[in-house]
Amino acid sequence: MVNPQIQAFGLNLWFGKNQVLNDIDLSVHTNKVTAMIGPSGCGKSTLLRCFNRMNDLIPETRITGKVTLGDRDIYAPGTDVTGIRSQVGMVFQKPNPFPKSIFNNVAYGLQVQDAVKNRSELADRVEASLQAAWLWDEVKNRLHSSAMSLSGGQQQRLCMARALATSPLVLLLDEPTSALDPQSTAKIEELCLELKNSVTILIVTHNVAQAGRISEYTAFMYLGELVEFGTTEKMFTVPADKRTEAYLTGVFG
């Protein structure tokens, strides 16, 4: 096994008294696409949000166990959370560009992290990110018009570009295509396959077929537990657990 990019060890999470994640052990492989599947409410989005500490924002969240990014414990006391988030980008279910220009959306992460020295470097990085998200050709003539004028699929690719701008190690995708039409979905999926050469991708999806199309590894979660984890190929052909098989064949979900 190559060096894992993200690892969770005995991870438990409670919202108030309600335990949402139960003793999760998971290794996410560097520069691969890992899909997280499971029925609604199984905790897959919550697990995803553990990796950039977005759960911190929810009051009364309690976490035990350990999560590492590279060899760094991201829940260690005194950890700079903004630093973690600059290395772990995230794209949400609903496209959520800021009500700013296309350019300023992509520039945002670089600006708040003070990651560029001057305007020309900023412009270069913004262009590179838009290229990487396959949006450049569509928007290069209107970089300064509102991001809200883009279509839903374009907005989601803008969010990808925005997350990529700071060159993160990991990209967390939380059901990124569930609000998109089939064509835009296909484009995002192809993009994931292209991007995994430079970034580790973790994608939560409701769509089992999507997991099959783009991921090398799949994690199946059920009721807050990680039921099965392995290569997508193996899980989709010979699932080890009955619950996995039932979910994949559509018995529940």
Return the residue of 159, 204, 214, 227 that touches other proteins, per CB under 8 A: 159
Residue 105 host element (H or E): helix 102-112
Return the residue of 99, 183, 250, 252 that touches other proteins, per CB under 8 A: 99
The DSSP line for 211-236 is HHHH-SEEEEEETTEEEEEEEHHHHH
**How far is residue 43 CA from its own chain's centroid?**
14
Nearer to other proteins, 54 or 208 (CB): 54
**Nearest-approach distance from CB 43 to other proteins, in angstroms:** 18
- Using CB under 8 A as the binding rule, whether residue 226 contacts other proteins is answered as no
- Using CB under 8 A as the binding rule, whether residue 31 contacts other proteins is answered as no
- Using CB under 8 A as the binding rule, whether residue 10 contacts other proteins is answered as no
- Using CB under 8 A as the binding rule, whether residue 85 contacts other proteins is answered as yes
**Nearest-approach distance from CB 23 to other proteins, in angstroms:** 26
- Using CB under 8 A as the binding rule, whether residue 83 contacts other proteins is answered as yes
- Using CB under 8 A as the binding rule, whether residue 133 contacts other proteins is answered as no
Tokens, residue 91: 């794209």
- Using CB under 8 A as the binding rule, whether residue 26 contacts other proteins is answered as no
Binding mask 164-203 for other proteins (x = CB under 8 A): --x-------------------------------------
Q: How many residues bind other proteins (CB under 8 A)?
A: 27
The CA distance from 163 to 172, in Å, is 9
Burial 171-205 (b: 16+ CB within 10 A, else e): bbbbbbbebbeeebbebbbebbeebbeebbbbbbb
- Using CB under 8 A as the binding rule, whether residue 14 contacts other proteins is answered as no
C-alpha Rg value of the chain to the nearest Å: 18
221: phi > 0 → left, psi -120 to 50 → alpha, else beta; which?
beta
The CA distance from 62 to 51, in Å, is 14
The site for other proteins (CB under 8 A) is made up of 52, 54, 57, 82-83, 85-86, 89-90, 92, 94, 96-99, 108-109, 111-113, 146, 148-149, 159, 162-163, 166
